[in-house]
Structures are given as C-alpha cells and as structure tokens.
Amino acid sequence: MRSPCSTSLPPGKAGWRAVLPLVLAALVLAACRGSGSQDLVTPTDMETLAYATVTPSPAPEPQQVLLVLPPGSEDDFSRRLEAAIQQLGERDSLVVQKVSDLPAKFDESQRTIIMIYPDESFLAVVRRYPDRTFIAVAAESLPAEPNMWILGNSGSGMDQAAFLSGYIAAMLTPDWRIGALQSFETRGGRQLDRAFINGGVFFCGLCRPAFPPYFSYPAYVALNELSDRSARAALVTAEEMGLQVVWVAPELRPLLDALQLPAGFSFLGTSEPSSNLAGSWIATVRPAPEQRLEELWEAILAGAPAELVPIPIVIENVNSSVLTPGRLGQADQIRLELEKGYIGTGAIEE
C-alpha cells in the first residue's frame, strides 16, 4: 500500500518529457535572481549619475577693443575710423568700448587699445603694458615700440589731402585762380592753408594770372567764426578775388549747405558733397585711415610684429567730366609720391 505522502511520477519517457521543461525554467529563474542583481541601474540612477558628473563652466568673457577718442577729435576723420572699428568688432565678435581718456587700469579682456591723436602719455601706457596691443592713429613723431602699431606718424594726413587738392585745383583752373576756404577753428588751421597753397604752386610755379583781377594765387580766405554770416562774407570775398576752384575745410562744408553759392564756383574738400554742392563738386580728397586699418586688422589681432604704416589718401566722388581719367591718373601719381614720402607738403603748424 502506497503512502499518501509519496509522489507519483509518470512512468517512462513520457513522464520525464513533461517534467523537464519545468525543471529548466526553475533553474533559469534561480540563476537570474542570484547573479549580479546589484549591478542593475534604473533610469533614476542614470539621471543622478549624469547630474553628478557634469559641471557647467562659466562662459568666457568676450574680448574688448578699447577705442580712445580724446576731446576735440569729433571730426570726419575720427567718425570714419570709429565706424570701421565698430564693423570689424561686430564681424569678429569683439566688444568695442569707446572712452574719452585712457583708463588708469585695463581689464583683462581689454587686449587691443586704439587711440586717435595720441600724445606722450599714450606712449607711457604702451610701455607699462607690454602684453597688450596698441594702435596709435594720426600720431606726431612717436618712437617705435614692439607692441604699438602706428598708423600715420606725421599727423592725420590732412595736410597731404590739402596739398593734393591744391595740385588738382591748379591743374584744372585757367590762370590758377584757386583758393582755400577755412576757419581759424579748423584742426591744423593755417597748416592746411599752407599745404593747399604749396600743392597749387607745385603745379603752376609762380602762378601769375594773365588777366585781372590780379591777386596772389593760390589764395586763402579765413572765417573769423563758424557762422552763416561769416561764411556768406567769405564767399563774397572769394568771388571778388576771382576764385574759380575753392577747397573747403571740413568744418565749413555744412555751413555752405544753406547758402546761395556764387555762379561759376567749383569745390573740392575732404568730406562728402551735400546736395547743395553736388552739382559743383569736383572730387573728395581725404585721408582714409579706415582703409589701412581694415587691411591690417587680421595681422594685428593675430599678434604680428607691430609696424609703422602711412595713412593712404583717396580720391573719390569724382566729377569725371572735369577731372578726366587722364588728369586723375596724373593726380594719382602725386598721391602715391606723397604717401611714400617722396613729396613733402611743406606745411608746418604755426
């Protein structure tokens, strides 16, 4: 008689076939439960690990270009240069900061410092910070320094522009009846008059007129003040002197916009012609510091050795019916010789 606790197994092969899958399943389940369950990583654990290993770093401070525009430098020369620096800064993701004076101390991000019309105090700062790059624009005989680029070491080049304007005016005018219209408040003042006159004499020599009125040409007419009344009186004087081509100092061009201009006058200058002057404008002859800076910008930022380079003079807004291609080519030769220093303007500031 069998015990009630005994287990009955199916006899033969058929019985084992029924039991074997159950045994194997039990073994697999036991292996999974007992092998490395501590190594399983849940999604929550993965997020915790990620946050624990990633440490955000602060964004680097953008590099700055410090532009120093001292009081009294609000002229076309400075405005063109400032506009070019702003464009270059935006292109290269640089922050351009404009100030009126050199700071006592530079921030670490201020690696490039540009100053227009620098003086001796600028040179002292250059020597104090040999790890910075400095650019002196329109300097006056500054000595070379390894970390200072010099754009124009004999001023802004305005005297060269005035000299070339005088040469062009004499080349175009019968009997050399040319003159400069300027104010005592013009930067360089008498120096620019002298440069214009020397440029005219460079072309026409004695410049003696064949017919009256007999005045000493090239001439100049100076305004006592920057006012409409003074400008109107100066134009009357120029007309009485028989002037035909007049060079206009940059500060005076806006004054002529609202005035009735004498018939037969033609003008040159360093600024853009206004609508009032457009019909009688021969050409704009001006220094172009922004052109030279754009050419050198990449080398300056890359840390290339500093150089002394001249400020080029450009001739633009040309009335080609007056300043014909042949005459323009002749003037361009004089421009190149001025830039290379082969011709001096002979203008000494008084």
185 within 8 A of 151, measured Cβ to Cβ? no
| Whole-prediction pTM | 0.80
pLDDT at 195: 94
| Distance, CA of 50 to CA of 52 (rounded, Å) | 5
Q: By mean pLDDT, which of 41-45, 173-177, 280-284 is the weakest?
A: 41-45
Q: Does residue 224 come out as left (phi exceeding 0), alpha (psi in the -120 to 50 range) or beta?
A: alpha
| Distance, CA of 133 to CA of 324 (rounded, Å) | 43
Q: Where are the beta strands (DSSP E) in the chain?
A: 64-68, 95-99, 110-116, 133-137, 148-151, 178-183, 219-223, 245-248, 266-269, 281-287, 308-309, 313-316
164 within 8 A of 334, measured Cβ to Cβ? yes
Domains, the chain, ordered by start: 64-151 (3.40.50.2300), 158-286+313-340 (3.40.50.2300)
pLDDT tens, residue by residue, 12-57: 555 545 555 555 555 545 555 544 445 544 555 445 544 555 556 6
pLDDT tens, residue by residue, 63-109: 899 999 998 888 889 999 999 999 999 999 999 999 999 998 999 99
* Phi (first) and psi of residue 247, to 5 degrees: -90, 130
Beta-bridge mates of residue 103: none
Identify the three-state secondary structure at position 244: coil
245 within 8 A of 166, measured Cβ to Cβ? no
Any idea what the Cα angle at residue 75 is, between residues 69 and 79, rounded to 5°?
Answer: 65
pLDDT tens, residue by residue, 137-170: 999 889 999 999 999 988 889 999 999 999 999 9
Closest alpha carbon to 116 in 145, 75, 87: 75
221 within 8 A of 265, measured Cβ to Cβ? no
Query: DSSP character for 261?
Result: P
